[in-house]
């Protein structure tokens, strides 16, 4: 992922994602961000499943979302994802959630993850992972 440091996925707002307002429920965005983060890791040549199977877990310790416009049922939604910062025990990701057809910004978000072992003891992010998680400037204002 030498150049394309901002990855993207596209998903469709499912009926089960909607709530009584007829739009995607705000809790679903946390799942979409996770899906985008997973594909971001895959695009760097690793996979989170392999990371976790090797005994390392990346646990979300902070989540912040700003909702700007509703995602409606059956909309195609694009989630862009990038690394904001990598420290020895923590990785921060940024996200832009957009209506795919118009590019309208629906939400921006950040998540901070820490590396732990299987017993949730904090550990170092392995060098191999640090190397591929190249930070990118924010492509949108968060």
The SS3 assignment for 67 reads strand
Going through the chain in order, the beta strands assigned E by DSSP cover 7-12, 57-67, 76-86, 90-99, 105-116
Tokens read off for 66: 């700003």
What is the Cα–Cα distance from 90 to 73, expressed in whole angstroms? 35
Catalytic-labelled residue, pool 17, 19, 75, 112? 19
Instruction: Mark whether 19 is an active-site residue.
Output: yes
C-beta of 21: minimal distance to a copy of itself in Å? 6
Question: In angstroms, what is the minimal distance from the CB of 76 to a copy of itself?
Answer: 12
Q: Which is nearer to a copy of itself, 2 or 16 (CB)?
A: 16
Chain residues binding a copy of itself by CB under 8 A are 12, 14-16, 18-22, 25-28, 30-31, 34-35, 38, 47-49, 52, 57, 59-68, 70, 73-74, 120
């Amino acid at each position: 992922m030498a150049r394309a440091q901002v990855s993207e996925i596209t998903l469709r707002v499912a009926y089960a994602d909607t709530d009584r307002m007829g739009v995607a429920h705000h809790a679903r965005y946390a799942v979409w961000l996770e899906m985008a983060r997973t594909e971001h890791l895959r695009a760097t040549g690793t996979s989170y499943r392999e990371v976790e199977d090797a005994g390392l877990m990346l646990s979300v310790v902070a989540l912040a979302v700003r909702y700007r416009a509703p995602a409606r049922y059956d909309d195609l939604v694009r989630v862009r994802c990038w690394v904001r910062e990598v420290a020895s025990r923590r990785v921060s990701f940024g996200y832009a959630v957009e209506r795919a057809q118009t590019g309208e910004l629906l939400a921006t978000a950040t998540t901070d993850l820490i590396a732990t072992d299987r017993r949730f003891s904090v550990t170092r992010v392995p060098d191999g992972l640090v190397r591929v998680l190249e930070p990118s400037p924010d492509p949108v204002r968060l």
